Structures are given as structure tokens and as C-alpha cells.
Amino acid sequence: MRPLTEEETQTLFRKLAEYVGSSLKLLLGDGADRYVFRLSHNRVYYVRLSLANFATSIPRDQLLSLGICMGKFTKTGKFRLHITALPILAEHARVKIWIRPNGVMPFLYGSNISNAHVARLPENVAEYQGVVVCTQDDVPLGFGITARSTAEARRLDPTGIVCFRQSDCGEYLRDEDTLFASG
């Protein structure tokens, strides 16, 4: 595992800022509870600094993972968040969308969120803003990007798309063979 380069850090923080906004500073912490991001096999891990220091004694080729996998860098240098980052994103999310019980299963099967499935949408949500998708009981299910602003979404017909799915908890089953595979 190695620390991220300046370019990789900027790419990662830009992606995380879409979902957590100014709470990005809270992710890193301070003092004894300081967290860092480390890169191993194109995957970025969110790990406590003291644990990352202990991991330096393990050869890179033998260390499979450490901490929480936030996502991975593609071959083109873009960063793609994984569903494993959901607990961190949900805790610090700037915007959440709550969906009705009839919309949970379609979302977990990989569908976008239609207007008929939205239970609650916060005011002043911009178009193409990162959101965490939750059930009405505040259980995080995944995350996505808004397809419409709040004002536009209120005027949509029931089949109109309100949120594009980026990742959902159903990926643990659908992509179990490739989710944690290196390469």
C-alpha cells in the first residue's frame, strides 16, 4: 500500500465532495483518530493511520486489503466509488433521497429511481448532485446522481427518472465474483 499522489488525491476528493460536501474534512479526522487513504492494486482504502503504518511491514504483493475499500481508479485515471464506501458516505452525506417500500427492490436490482418511488426529496437539490438513497426507515441502500432538480422532479410524471443509480447493496450479490478481485 502506498499513499496517493497529488493527482490521485484531487481526483478522489473531487468524487467524494459530490456526496459529502464540506464534511470531507471530517473524514480525515485529527490527532490519534486520523484516517488516511492508501492505494493498493488500483483500489483506494480508507484506513486509520496507525493501522496503515503497521501494514508497511507486510509485502505489497501479500497484502490483499486493509480498512474500507472506497473504490478504484480506472485505467483512464477516473475514480469509481464502490458500494463498500456506503457506510462512510451515508454517515457524512450532504443530500439523501428516501424511497418508498415499493421502490426498494427495483433499486436493489439495479434500476434507476422513478418519481413514483420517491417518498421524500429535500428542497434545493440541484441536477446531477450526488445523493445517498435510503429507505423510509433511514437504512442506506446505495448512492446515485440526481437526474432532475427538486423543482423539476415535482413536475415529473410518475415514470420519470429522478435519480440515476450509481451503486446499490444488490451489487454484493450480483458482482460477488469481481467486486473484490484484484486487477
Q: Where are the domains of the chain?
A: 2-89, 95-173
Neighbouring residues of 126: CB distance < 8 A, sequence distance ≥ 6: 146, 149
Q: Residue 120: helix, strand or coil by DSSP?
A: strand
Grid cell listed for 102:
415499493
- Closest alpha carbon to 148 in 181, 115, 120, 107: 115
Predicted structure pTM score = 0.87
CA distance 65 to 131: 27
Per-residue model confidence (pLDDT) at position 33: 75
CATH number of 95-173: 2.30.130.10
Per-residue model confidence (pLDDT) at position 136: 95
pLDDT (tens place) for every residue of the chain, 183 residues total: 889 999 999 999 999 999 998 888 888 877 667 899 999 888 999 999 989 888 888 888 888 888 999 999 999 999 999 999 999 999 999 999 999 999 999 999 999 999 999 999 999 999 999 999 999 999 999 999 999 999 999 999 999 999 999 999 988 888 777 766 655
For residue 115, count CB atoms less than 10 angstroms from its CB and return exposed for 0-12, middle for 13-18, buried for 19 or more: buried
What is the topology classification, in CATH, of domain 2-89? Nuclear Transport Factor 2; Chain: A, (3.10.450)
Query: Contact, 39 vs 150, CB < 8 A?
Result: no
- Closest alpha carbon to 162 in 123, 105, 116, 124: 116
Q: If you write DSSP's letter for every residue of 73-101 in order, what string do you get?
A: E-TTS-EEE-GGGHHHHHHH-S-EEEE-H
